[in-house]
Structure 1
């Protein structure tokens, strides 16, 4: 299949050049097209594909780190990265090179108004673009094994200079390009090698016809009437389906919680009836099961704290199921009581001081032991 390559100049009043390429990439014909004349595109019999080569000065080419993700996610990430680099990031048209399995992808960014202008210029010349390529990407990329002193390919296009490196591609005025490339090893491509550059448009690295500019044939086709009817029915039924699904989910969750609660009760109260669902009865059984453990823990901590103070002892001890541990403490000085309070606090208990009275050789103080906060 032969191809037409329409190369637009930056000046909309200048002549465009149309190349006719054969299947092997050779230039078969070249025609200058004058914008002011009525559209009369060269027939180029057999040409079935048109590639539009556009001025590259207004197209920014970047290589961005875009880890593997969906096309929409990669495009959103590219927009975010470019917004941080450009002074005017709003309403950019961003196109991405195909995902070659690498984290780094080429991205092209430009003002969408330029895309509209270039497509309109092509239409005015009687052509419809099947692909749009920035001119700087027609230069070959230096590859491993090339001359070690050459890392930038440069093509003199007269009023502009095209440059291409492994991670660099731009089109600029010769003086600006010279400043950008100062100190970089360069290889000037022959000025008569434009035919080889044009051939590279047959397999462009990136096509700017993406997103809003994508050809209609590549967009999603509208659904037919039967599909629309099914979608409408599904849309009308979706609220009921959502309510039913939510009810089923809550029912399953409730059953799961009930099962886990029954297992927990059996572990905590082996003597409890498996079928019992009376929360008050289960609470009473649980308190009854925990009462001996609570008394042992509280009394043990109290005995240890009192034993740490010479001369202090428990005059009485009282405990009733479901109540706090109460005691009457004999101590020789108030400091003893504070020391015992600190020892209990270290074990996670709070000593609540009650009434006190004098006793032979010391003091007798009523205390209550409670779990610490």
Structure 2
């Protein structure tokens, strides 16, 4: 089985012409009765060997992290050692030189990227734990948030460095997540004494989510036919943007408190319809998946309110599951109707509605 990334690499290497690659995509799309762009491809597995290598890499990384933790640093016993994160990051980078740069294995590349960024974060946290005594953090939320922001900044730098060397698509999303953590950490430090800190953080998280969404749209608009690595980068950014947008909205509505009234359930459904229309327009399903848990909870609570307690979750799952399956079956037709009602200038920035657009480099 060949992925879009494999076809792109073959075109870059001269083994396949851009016209031949486009004809191959068109043939596959026609055989599936669905335009290739609507398949929303992203590379995760090239074979079972990806799973095998990923499991082995995780075991190895846990081992080197454990060994690094035994090297005590600082006066606090049992504090995180910077060597744990440092060893994990170094091992992940070394493994990526072979499995990512040479073998181009998808799942191991993602695992090694996350390990490298997480290792950099852990190393920074270990250094700060050795320098800042634990007593200084007692009842000092501003200092703790500032230190977390510093660690997030190191993680963002690690993600950028990894992207520059290996070009793993998820690296941009990892860097964006670390950057969002940096911003939220600084805001948490500045609002530590405010009673409305939670609402302020949720509001900024929503703004950051919108920013990540716009960044994802920028990557998407540079490859409307979704034939290059840029589409993979956009996929992961959309996957990150969705919870950053959805969670603050539903948290501010009070859905995380464990109850949902009729008005809240109706508002949730209305928002989900809006997210569905947005997902159809941009041809990305991540928004629908991220909001799914909230919709299930809201509808289930609504059925409980009207006395259908025993079957509340079953009826909710039946309605939502049926709706999503119908949406998937008629995705292209529904998307065509949504996109054609948008302004022409906006349509030009959205993924194409057919698979006849020439491939881009």
TM superposition score category, shorter chain reference: under 0.3
Q: Which has the higher strand share?
A: 1
Query: Which has the higher Rg, Structure 1 or Structure 2?
Result: 1
Q: Which has the higher helix share?
A: 2
Name the TM-score, length of structure 1 as normaliser. 0.20
Name the TM-score, length of structure 2 as normaliser. 0.20
Question: 1 or 2 for the larger relative contact order (CA 8 Å, sep ≥6)?
Answer: 2
